[in-house]
Amino acid sequence: MGGVEKVESALAAAVLVVWALSLAGTRWAAPRALTGRPAWVGFGLALHLASLGAACWSAGHLPLDSMRFGLSALALWVALGWGWLRAQPRMESLGVLLIGLVVLLFGAAQLAPNAGGGTAREGLWFPAHVTLILVGLGGLAVSASLSTVFLFVQRQLKAKRFQGLARLPSLDVLDRRNYQAMSFGFVCLTAGMAIGGVWAATHPEASMGPTFTVWGTVLLWLWYAAALHARLVSGWQGRLAAVFGVGGFVGMGAMVAIAAVVLRGWH
């Protein structure tokens, strides 16, 4: 292992440790004296970004085809989503879900294939395509976390189990933030797909035609398009919107898992 690879591995290990400690800080009261502070989250984000930079340095280019790099980048966007939510009242409880997802994604990235990213991917179109897709998936992951908490709070209220609900956001706040996160993720996903189409049209020699991830992304887009359309036109809010959020995330997770195992990359 060369010097660059050692730096990359050391940074990856440090990122896992920081996010794991941050997860512990959202779960138990004792470590939160340190890990509950905004500076700690900022440190985790900076370290995570440095880890991605080291991966680019090691590869000699921006390895957006790499499943390892893509999952690491997706984990970063989810962490940024947590940074957005945690600044709002009574959102600390979502840290267990979101930071837990960051740890899961970044840990999975270290086990994922690291191939991909050839000269056919050079230029601005392909990086913009993959980046927007990953940002969109990050927004939808945040939406799924909000949806999960919404369903939990609603169930507790129906069962008249009120213990602990005072520290959780209200159903109205959760629904509103879910709509914002889902809309943001959908817009980014749409833009990424559109740019991907332009890239494929201008690089026919590099395009491999419809693949599993292409069709999977289209189905995911249709799912969320139906959810947002139903909300805007038919007024579907609350529980139905949350079910769409959780269901879409399950489908997204299955698509990423199959792509990692079968395709060993995003394309």
Give per-residue pLDDT as tens, 132-173.
Answer: 999 999 999 999 999 999 999 999 888 888 887 888 888 999
Task: Give the mean pLDDT of 51-70.
Answer: 83
Could you read off the pLDDT of 175-186 as tens digits, one per residue?
999 999 999 999
Q: Would 55 be classed as within a structural domain? A: no
> Is 229 exposed, middle or buried (CB count within 10 Å of its CB: 0-12, 13-18, 19+)?
exposed
Residue 183 confidence (pLDDT): 95
Q: Would 174 be classed as within a structural domain? A: yes
The domain tally of the chain equals: 1
Residue 212 confidence (pLDDT): 66
Q: Domain range holding 144? A: 64-263
Q: Would 57 be classed as within a structural domain? A: no
* Terminal alpha carbon distance of the chain: 27
Q: Would 249 be classed as within a structural domain? A: yes
pLDDT category of residue 36 using cuts at 50, 70 and 90? low
Is residue 117 classed as helix, strand or coil in its secondary structure?
coil
Residues 6+ apart with CB under 8 A from 172: none
pLDDT category of residue 174 using cuts at 50, 70 and 90? very high
Q: Would 19 be classed as within a structural domain? A: no
Least confident of 73-87, 152-166, 205-219, 220-234: 205-219
Residue 210 confidence (pLDDT): 53
HSE (side-chain half, CA atoms, 13 Å) at 52: 20
Least confident of 103-107, 108-112, 117-121, 220-224: 117-121
Considering the chain, what is the average pLDDT of its residues? 82
